[in-house]
Structure 1
């Protein structure tokens, strides 16, 4: 099991849950020119002010000598063409960015870009970049499967929706670590090693993953930080002809957006940070507070389950439901369940399936069905939820989500723990945060301990002095990015404005709240953020 700090939107998981429920109910079954520059926020009508190169904010972290070497990257042309396959109706392109911004001559990497043209014929506001989080989630997949259809019509009418898979992710130059068969074995690992032998096996599994990354990813492992990804976004902004960056980032995408604001405050346009990560927290604290977030989500699920006709965890309340779930998961350690697949449902896979369903209340019916089936000896639906979390398809192929997730997290901050003894010391605090999932999430926090590359980032407050108003959205019962993180980020940002959604699930925009959608849309369309006291339910 590997679920540590996987922060992304719930759209993919919710869609998978819907498909599962549908199946259970029904039974088996030409090139175009690059966008021209248009007036942006702060421009006078009829004029264009486009910041095209690194010199606009000085050399920044690249250093003064490197700044001039970056200008060719800002001068390249995006050559758009019709996307193929599932991307029909979208335009695709590729762009070059330096592997190392401090040494631009060290070589290039390629980023994949896609866009959906604005549907309206007037009132164009430029490009709106989107990112679903992860780190490791494909922004292009998110654009094509969610943003291009779920974002409100007026937003789609006035913005070109644009996505770039970040460095190390998806269609861009990727980080890879294990083969598909090796990933199957990796994800099946016992999430709660109880004996010395089990602990040695758990550590060996982590070391094999880390070594696989070192072998397969090579130099890329040193250059997939969030700072570098944010600098890539500025190159893309310039190539799109936008003087300011307009952006909707969800989950980990909020950290990417906040980092951009820190690096390029004068280039901030309309930034929406939904389901915020607090950049000032250590990795250990992030993981522990995330455990508490998943406990909150499980409590909501258990209460909802108890109101249904049949609840596989009983109807006496969250405490009893938690005891039943822990007992069920513990039994799987010695007796995995059969599935319709050749794989068995192990404790690790089942735990991941439960965590996956906590991201979105729309997945709760699928989880109820999964647990009911598991009580009858069939682990198929829980395994499907776990596969959706890991982005494993029906042919057994994995995306590189988990490889990129570890690569970015382990570079962005020092490891939460340095060995099993650290985890065991922290177990009481994690159990207190989540009696149901705390132990598993504590052990999942050990992944970066054996990483082959030293971290380059560190926890710190982000203020982004001089940036235009930035909208931070927080959900009160968000499992993956707890609500206090949104409050903290909004208070750190010198121009931060908090919008609160009193509800369940991970992130809030385009997830069913008209109040949230109207507030975000108004900000994106008029540049006016909602009042600081705005609360939606």
Structure 2
């Protein structure tokens, strides 16, 4: 199972979903109508839509109350922008109206790919500052292929359980063959059940949808906060519509120029860095479950735990029949690394796992995958793979993944195999990739703020440096911290810089590094 690049947060206990988790898979909210005070830079004019697309830009949204102060609607976009008169699909939207003097709309995306922007916007009161919410209608949307926007569906919950259970760290030719068979089955199922959608779920088409939403919402320039994969969506938008940008915050950045398998390796190293930071913190706590008192020793203990789970599944007390093998255990370890506040959860879960009970790790893995107690899944696992496979060129030869896994394992012994083999379904994908791994410059766009966290497990800091340097107007804002993404995670320095930029278009000084929060 490919590890998701998502702006997710993890709850403080394995059994309770909280505001933080809700922030992981939230959807985009629909924008309120009315006049806009659009504080764009002088001389930057929005690009007008073509005549064929004008009906989409001029459509009127039918907003309805959907609880807790939110309003929901659906916008119509062409399935294929090359033939806008053809089939149309709906994009689900949600909005939380501004509480003060309104500037315009702020679109938000939590990442993934596959994260629901509608769900994410539901947590707007915690994922955005009061200052920002006062000035903007917060808009969440499910990108095409995701959530409630023509979702890609491939497998039943039982089949997805089997797919996730595949041994993603194969030790024998038979295990490699089983992984090949299971990955091909996933790709085949998607090709059979979602053939109509698969060619059109890529990031470029989703970015074009965002520009339609910008027009429908009445904003001459797009204001946007994207986290994790959402940074790629924002960067692609800026490259397609540089004159339509007002302010983009790209937090937990993805470097679009890194080749797909190299990107996997770099991400695996990021998880190793985060794991070491977790272990260093763990030794300062009396409840740390490791017998060793060194990071190196604890890393070895974790390796032994995963090896044991590979040979003999850990105990599962949920009563759902799943075997907690190495793949499930790795997902359970990775998930709490996304947020420092969840590290106590990981300490407790590992303590139980060392005693043979992997139930808490399984619960954490279910949070990562958005698997429900009844065994059903949201569609984020399927949409994640579908978007990745059409966005990036992946090798077709299994030997390339085997070679990549061997190299990644040298620098990321706990996660290298897992992340690398997780992309194998793309080798069998029925749709050729549309995207290429290349630099994005967005020539002509106003300043774009790229945020990177020094020990981010999922989107390493070097990716933020890479994206900021590629963008012709990129401004790098760093944070010396732990966890995935930086805005609204505890740093007043980051929060102020982002708020000032979104509201007043005052970008931080290039290369600003916000200090670690103690």
Shorter-normalised TM-score: what interval? over 0.9
For residues 56-76 of structure 1, give each alpha carbon's deviation from its aligned partner in whole angstroms, at most 9, with x where no partner exists. Answer: xxxxxxxxxxx3221111111
Asked whether the equivalents of residues 136 and 402 of structure 1 are also in contact (C-alpha less than 8 Å), the reply is yes
Aligned residue in 2 for 1:332: 309
Structure 1 residues 506 and 17 mapped into 2: Cα distance closer, same or farther (>3 Å)?
A: farther
Q: Which runs of 5+ in 2 are unaligned?
A: 20-29
2:109 paired with 1:127: no
1:468 counterpart SS class: coil
For 2:332 and 2:363, the matched residues in 1 are separated by 7
Aligned residue in 2 for 1:515: 493
Asked whether the equivalents of residues 323 and 436 of structure 1 are also in contact (C-alpha less than 8 Å), the reply is no
Aligned residue in 2 for 1:279: 256
Aligned residue in 1 for 2:354: 375
For residues 39-59 of structure 1, give each alpha carbon's deviation from its aligned partner in whole angstroms, at most 9, with x where no partner exists. Answer: 312388xxxx995841xxxxx
Asked whether the equivalents of residues 306 and 330 of structure 2 are also in contact (C-alpha less than 8 Å), the reply is yes
2:33 paired with 1:35: yes
- What's the TM-score, normalizing by structure 1? 0.90
Asked whether the equivalents of residues 41 and 446 of structure 2 are also in contact (C-alpha less than 8 Å), the reply is no
Deviation at 1:352, TM superposition (A): 0.8
Deviates more, 1:430-439 or 1:521-530: 430-439
Aligned residue in 2 for 1:19: 16
Structure 1 residues 312 and 501 mapped into 2: Cα distance closer, same or farther (>3 Å)?
A: same
Asked whether the equivalents of residues 50 and 243 of structure 1 are also in contact (C-alpha less than 8 Å), the reply is yes
2:508 paired with 1:526: no
For 1:284 and 1:495, the matched residues in 2 are separated by 28
2:334 to 355, 358, 373: 355
For 2:91 and 2:128, the matched residues in 1 are separated by 24
1:461 counterpart SS class: coil
2:101 paired with 1:118: no
2:51 to 51, 65, 68: 68
- What's the TM-score, normalizing by structure 2? 0.93
Structure 1 residues 18 and 491 mapped into 2: Cα distance closer, same or farther (>3 Å)?
A: farther
Deviation at 1:402, TM superposition (A): 0.8
Aligned residue in 2 for 1:57: none
2:390 paired with 1:411: yes
Aligned residue in 1 for 2:2: 3
2:195 counterpart SS class: helix
Tell me the number of residue pairs that the alignment of Structure 1 and Structure 2 aligns.
502
Aligned residue in 2 for 1:58: none
Deviation at 1:418, TM superposition (A): 2.7
Deviates more, 1:103-112 or 1:305-314: 305-314
Aligned residue in 2 for 1:183: 160
For residues 421-478 of structure 1, give each alpha carbon's deviation from its aligned partner in whole angstroms, at most 9, with x where no partner exists. Answer: 2222223420232122212222223231111111011011111111111111000111
Deviation at 1:15, TM superposition (A): 6.0
1:218 counterpart SS class: coil
For residues 334-356 of structure 1, give each alpha carbon's deviation from its aligned partner in whole angstroms, at most 9, with x where no partner exists. Answer: 21122221223121111111111
For 2:405 and 2:370, the matched residues in 1 are separated by 29
Asked whether the equivalents of residues 268 and 419 of structure 2 are also in contact (C-alpha less than 8 Å), the reply is yes
Deviates more, 1:446-455 or 1:233-242: 446-455
Asked whether the equivalents of residues 134 and 405 of structure 1 are also in contact (C-alpha less than 8 Å), the reply is yes
Structure 1 residues 444 and 313 mapped into 2: Cα distance closer, same or farther (>3 Å)?
A: farther
Aligned residue in 2 for 1:153: 130
Deviation at 1:259, TM superposition (A): 0.6
Deviation at 1:378, TM superposition (A): 1.7
Asked whether the equivalents of residues 16 and 385 of structure 1 are also in contact (C-alpha less than 8 Å), the reply is no
Deviation at 1:316, TM superposition (A): 2.6
Deviation at 1:33, TM superposition (A): 10
Q: What is the CA RMSD across the aligned residues, in angstroms? A: 2.0
For 1:402 and 1:33, the matched residues in 2 are separated by 28
2:400 paired with 1:422: yes
2:368 to 361, 364, 389: 389
Aligned residue in 1 for 2:26: none
For 1:18 and 1:496, the matched residues in 2 are separated by 41
Structure 1 residues 50 and 73 mapped into 2: Cα distance closer, same or farther (>3 Å)?
A: farther
2:172 to 174, 195, 207: 195
Asked whether the equivalents of residues 3 and 352 of structure 1 are also in contact (C-alpha less than 8 Å), the reply is no
For residues 93-114 of structure 1, give each alpha carbon's deviation from its aligned partner in whole angstroms, at most 9, with x where no partner exists. Answer: 0011000001112200111000
**Counterparts in 2 of 1:70-469, with a 5 A limit?**
70-83=53-66, 87-120=67-100, 122=101, 124-145=102-123, 147-341=124-318, 342=320, 343-415=322-394, 417-469=395-447
Structure 1 residues 91 and 259 mapped into 2: Cα distance closer, same or farther (>3 Å)?
A: same
1:304 counterpart SS class: helix
Where is the helix percentage greater, Structure 1 or Structure 2?
1
For 2:245 and 2:382, the matched residues in 1 are separated by 30
Q: Moved runs in structure 1, 4+ residues, more than 6 A?
A: none
Structure 1 residues 534 and 177 mapped into 2: Cα distance closer, same or farther (>3 Å)?
A: same
Asked whether the equivalents of residues 419 and 446 of structure 1 are also in contact (C-alpha less than 8 Å), the reply is no
Asked whether the equivalents of residues 127 and 246 of structure 1 are also in contact (C-alpha less than 8 Å), the reply is yes
Deviation at 1:183, TM superposition (A): 0.9
For 2:209 and 2:107, the matched residues in 1 are separated by 12
Deviation at 1:487, TM superposition (A): 0.8
Q: Which runs of 5+ in 1 are unaligned?
A: 23-31, 55-66
Asked whether the equivalents of residues 199 and 420 of structure 1 are also in contact (C-alpha less than 8 Å), the reply is no
Aligned residue in 1 for 2:25: none
For 2:40 and 2:357, the matched residues in 1 are separated by 59
1:115 counterpart SS class: strand
